[in-house]
Structure 1
């Protein structure tokens, strides 16, 4: 990973303020190691990085490093001596060492057992780089490469290898139980669902040990570690970014953090170059932070490490083209279904799913609501009598999902007996999308249904103290099963904002505030279910002026994103996408787009973190991979512009598209067009122009508005010149402004620049 100097996550660009980058002390010492002799004399050097000092020691045995922190005028130990890679096969001998500028380079030899039982000798080299010289966070990057002439057999007698462990401290078992463990904040990854099953998202960890006054952060560059497979350790099926405790014979406990594994599926490390790449950052902290404060600090420090890859899939034309293709496919017989004279949409294109079977006598609110909301806006820009007729039929079906006896909206058009709800379905589709469709078409029947259903949701909020169950009986609201969908409070909060808009009653805003306050107290590792729940919670917090809570919920959402590329998947790119649901192990088109759509409203409300723009732009490029002409799954049969639900990952052994082509995610193709192209167009494709108004449109007849808000972002390093045009203006005069001052339609945009623009016509 090439380090990019990035602005801090919490240094947000406000409409009325400019931020300045903090200055850091220069670091690094141009000292050189001596050649390591055959009798193994100790040789060491120091690599300084802000308030960190890494002391690297080499002998004829394995090199070690120990980090120190500047506290006042002294250097205090922040770690114990630790190895570059942990395991019996990774006992390195150092033959050469060099310190040059901000880097230390080591090289030498090692030996391990081959598959035939004979010894395999190999070469290795390590580069330790003090990053941040230009003003970013002072991370250390460790990159160790093994040059294996033949596969080696991993040793598992005394523990799984390889692991990456940095030992931090040692304490007595008595003190550990008395006070030590109570004064730590551990944030581990990947995320887990509320019942404890792990996913495969952000590869990082955070540990605050207030006993020592030190916070430790690590990031693991797993896309540089392409050796991971079922032949050894299949990444996040077995690895955890977490802490480890080792009991010594004298009763003391050694505490470490790293990339930890307790099982393996194989014991072969392949021949060739095998890399181990990770980052370390430690800082002195005197306060005992809350989990919520720690999450935001951690994400702020991590975001400079997310490197956007500025490439396009070969198939990518424009989102306008793909949206038009989606609209055409939605009008085909493979998408529609009729039940008792009512028109609906299937969940999947027939025969496209290898795991789900669909009934022919029912359809879901999720599919209808997902497609209708953006379609009503799309039709204002591209009138189509045929598609408008279909949308009118879908709107006419919406009241059929409402049931007055239970004051609820079912996900199924034909309600099953003894109905059980999976809470995110009615909360997202019934409390967010349903009322938005009702307001856009001016249907009092639909909005009245929403207000009645929201009152039921409020009853649930009171019953469960805003901690909603995953499953519940619709007629009684009684919870079923063990799980809690904590983050659904985010959808509830935004639904309360919508209820306030409809009624003008501020009691709903008070209710939204209470829901956000509860989310801010839930243990951070319990908030993961569907990522858009957190996004809508952040949007509600921004609407209510709860800045800290908004930043925290955004930080939590980013923990579910794929910060890396998957080297096992050669035909698509997952970087910048989001895990579709906690523990599901793949990105999905629907959740990808729904996770970033609320960011447009957050940015309109003045919170514009640069890091979000990088993830958003990465999706602007990579989301094309969900379509059959772009993915590795070449099902060239029916509905090519209905996206596949899933892209393959190492943890699932690939399987791109096996879940099916999701009609209930087809609306997101239209959202991509509406966000990035429909309302504003930039002549330079490498620049991102994103509209911020879409979630505030309450009447389709007034869309598009005559005043439009945009963010123009240059994700690259070089200055780019581009011309802005506003397609809805239809060639009429357009007035562009920035911070209230008129600007030309042709702009020069420096690398990394963020410009907030207003267009009026």
Structure 2
């Protein structure tokens, strides 16, 4: 135990917290220091920082005890607050502060134990906050300092106003003092957040905040710009956050800073991930989803289209209905043929059907492809009729940009895979007459909507990451047709993304996935290292929109996990099934070319388990029932958006059931379901006839805490061949023969390996 006359240092290799006794507060306050090139420590923050800040908190430890030399310390003290009767009372608190030498993060975990609810006073700001007072800003702080600092604030924000509820981390570089600082906030632990105090990311922000009383200064951390209520709940409540700082000689770009922040946050991904109680596996869910999709609740009929697929089960979405009614409009999804559902399902289902003959997939695929061709035939006839009458407008004039480009790309994928001339001819005419001219006309700065008549932006809103869809589409066209034009178009669209403001790209999250694929493919085709930089940056942008926490704020939310799901779209603040799978499946397809950290593999492991919670089958029956248990809900409720399933059961997202199956089990499946088997060939299959003859690539990873021995069984028609084992990407350290379609492996805890099957 240290007494009040001592300075106490909690030191890491590159930064430390120096605690000094503060007489007025009756406890120790810390100064953040970084180690200079001369080996001496220098202050980069103001002195006297508490572990938690606020009128009811201001937690300054009165005792500090070293638990493990140079590794962990216990800090404790007494807080003072008021109850709802405005009576002052004291409460005990304790904290563990520990350095992790393997990654350089300092973890601070504070536990407050109050016998009474704390009446938050919200005096001189909102409380509680987890901020570091960094001291005075330099002269002319609105000018020179603003111009040259690098700051990544979260959660994501789109259209200059709408915040998401995703990334609980921040990065800051000070160009005057030449240091950088990262902080990460464990939102799983901080389950006290609610609409009775601060409803998490409805008001909390991670990052830089300037203040002007009594002089220009700034602070970094978790701060609030508003609040929901005044009650901090009694009992044991936790504040958990991480800090990392170091000297840095030169300013990073925003893109580099975001990449480094996400790489460092991946070091904190927990290993533990649980299966839903009623989950089987993705093989079973894919087959049962296929049966459900044949149900009449997923289809309708009219004279124009005959049999057509819907977007939501029974064409019912309470959220969309509510949204339209608020505008005095009506909508009837039961009468709307949904080409989105057809092509989003048709592409991956074609692969599954070819890989798994004699399974229930063929009838559904035939039905979907028939509707797709009928829909396109009608569209061609309608367009021809309009042109003949002198009206050059292609149907409805105003079109959502990402929807137009993405659906066109998916139709092309089906047409190319199936050799369907009708689909390919339709896509080619759209490419020549609309897609390329529109892209050039907007200088590849894609709008949220455009006018099919003028091929120009309509209304407000941008969707710059449509460039990712477009570039990936152009790369695939180039690979199929060898026309240099397409490669040039891909480069023109993708390269500007690296140089755009970091907060300008977040809209539909899945668009990052196609941009990631485009960057990877362009790197392989050209060898241009800039594409590697773009790749790393877009992966970071994609992970930035991930949910890095499980929501423990309500009993209902504790029945499922959200870690490694994705915010559907800034600022549509709920995890959504289509986006969850689409993001990761596309990243997976690049990991034969780009390295995967253990943190990223843990993300995949959380995702393959947690996404099963989106099915009615895996949710509490007393809350979320359905006649179709294997069609996923679009959304799960979280603190910021509380209505699980309110958007509806998304038929259009069922294509991602097949993508999940292809990614985690269809090509290779472990006998031990806790072992992650990640297929790296998603989106690479264009020749269905040769699907059983192609080489296969996997990452196999043991996320558990002990060594595991297991078998990997390959798809039914893959009976022989050679399996090459590599400790790192591209390595072939040893060879195993495939016997009866399987191989035996053993992996140590937290060990990955690369597996290549040569045919």
TM-score when normalising by structure 1: 0.89
Tell me, in whole angstroms, the C-alpha distance in 1 between the residues paired with 2:150 and 2:383: 43
Answer with 533-542 or 627-636: which moved more: 627-636
Task: Report the counterpart of residue 713 of structure 1 in structure 2.
Answer: 701
Residue 164 of structure 2 is matched in structure 1 by 199
Deviation at 1:548, TM superposition (A): 1.2
2:320 maps to which residue? 356
Whether 1:552 and 2:537 are equivalent positions in the alignment is yes
Matched, 1:650 2:639: yes
Structure 2 residues without counterparts, runs of 5 or longer: 322-331, 385-392, 524-530, 726-730, 738-742
Alignment partner of 1:587 is 2:553: no
Map of 1:311 onto structure 2: 274
Residue 95 of structure 1, CA deviation: 4.2
Task: Give the Cα separation in 1 of the matches to 2:383 and 2:136.
Answer: 58
SS at 2:415's partner residue? helix
Consecutive aligned runs of 4 or more in structure 1 exceeding 6 Å deviation = 404-407
Matched with 1:65 is: 30
> 1:743 is matched with which residue?
736
Are residues 360 and 177 of structure 1, via their aligned partners in 2, closer, same or farther at CA, if it must alter by over 3 Å?
closer
Partner residue of 2:51 out of 84, 100, 110: 84
1:104 to 59, 73, 76: 73
Structure 1 residues 220, 440: CA separation in 2 closer, same or farther (over 3 Å shift)? same
- Seen in structure 2, the aligned counterparts of structure 1 residues 46 and 241 have a Cα distance that, compared at 3 Å, is same
Is contact 1:44–1:58 with CA below 8 Å preserved after alignment?
yes
Does residue 394 of structure 1 match 2:371?
Answer: yes
Residue 229 of structure 2 is aligned to residue 240 of structure 1: no
Question: 1:446: Cα distance to partner?
Answer: 1.3
Q: Report the CA distance shift for 1:177/1:636 in structure 2 as closer, same or farther (over 3 A).
A: closer
| Matches of 2:94 and 2:378, distance apart in 1 | 63
SS in 2 for 1:111: strand
Is 1:527–2:505 an aligned residue pair? yes
Q: 1:462 to 1:387 in 2, by over 3 A?
A: closer
Check conservation: 1:225, 1:277, Cα contact below 8 A: yes
Q: Is the Cα contact below 8 Å between 2:50 and 2:60 reproduced in 1?
A: no
DSSP 3-state at the match of 2:259 = helix
Q: 1:325 aligns with which of 266, 285, 288?
A: 288
Instruction: Report the CA distance between 1:403 and its aligned residue.
Output: 4.7
Structural mapping, 1:137-156, within 5 Å: 138-156=104-122
Partner secondary structure for residue 569 of structure 2: coil
- TM-aligned CA deviation for residue 182 of structure 1: 1.2
CA distance in 2, matches of 1:43, 1:681: 59
* Equivalent residue number for residue 453 of structure 1: 430
Structure-2 separation of matches of 1:543 and 1:700: 21
**1:685 partnered with 2:662:** no
Distance 2:264 2:624 in 1: 42
Q: Any conservation in 1 of the 2:317–2:647 contact (CA below 8 Å)?
A: yes
Q: Which moved more, 1:627-636 or 1:120-129?
A: 627-636
- In structure 2, what is the Cα distance between the partners aligned to 1:349 and 1:370? 16
- C-alpha separation between the residues in 2 aligned to 1:175 and 1:406? 60
Corresponding residue for 1:281?
244
Superposition CA RMSD, Å: 2.2
Partners of 1:150 and 1:671 in 2: how far apart?
A: 50
Mapping 1:613-628, distance limit 5 Å: 613-628=601-616
Secondary structure of the corresponding residue to residue 83 of structure 1: coil
**Could you say which residue in structure 2 is the equivalent of 1:703?**
691
SS state of the match for residue 499, structure 2?
A: coil
Q: Residue in 2 aligned with 1:538?
A: 516
Residue aligning to 2:527:
none
Q: 2:308 aligns with which of 344, 351, 356?
A: 344
TM superposition score normalised by structure 2:
0.90
| Structure 2 match to 1:19 | none
Query: What does 1:12-51 correspond to in 2, within 5 Å?
Result: 32-34=1-3, 41-51=4-14
Secondary structure of 2:673's partner?
coil
For the 8 Å contact 2:383–2:394, the answer to whether it is kept is no
Aligned residues: 710
**Deviations for 1:157-189, whole angstroms, at most 9, x for unmatched residues?**
3221111110123134x4313421111011011
Tell me the residue number matched to 1:37: none
Partner of 1:12: none
Task: Work out whether 1:382 is the aligned partner of 2:357.
Answer: yes
Question: Are 2:634 and 2:645, in contact at CA under 8 Å, matched by a contact in 1?
Answer: yes
What's 1:217 paired with? 182
Distance in 1 (CA, whole Å) between partners of 2:118 and 2:135 is 32
C-alpha distance 58-277 of structure 1, shift in aligned 2 (>3 A): farther
Q: Residue 411 of structure 2 corresponds to which residue in structure 1?
A: 434
Q: Supply the distance in 1 between the matched residues of 2:723 and 2:278 (Cα, whole angstroms).
A: 33
User: Which 10-residue stretch deviates more, 514-523 or 84-93?
Assistant: 84-93
1:117 equivalent in structure 2: 86
- Distance (Å, rounded) in 2 between the aligned partners of 1:181 and 1:77: 21
Q: Which has the higher contact order (CA 8 A, sep 6+)?
A: 1
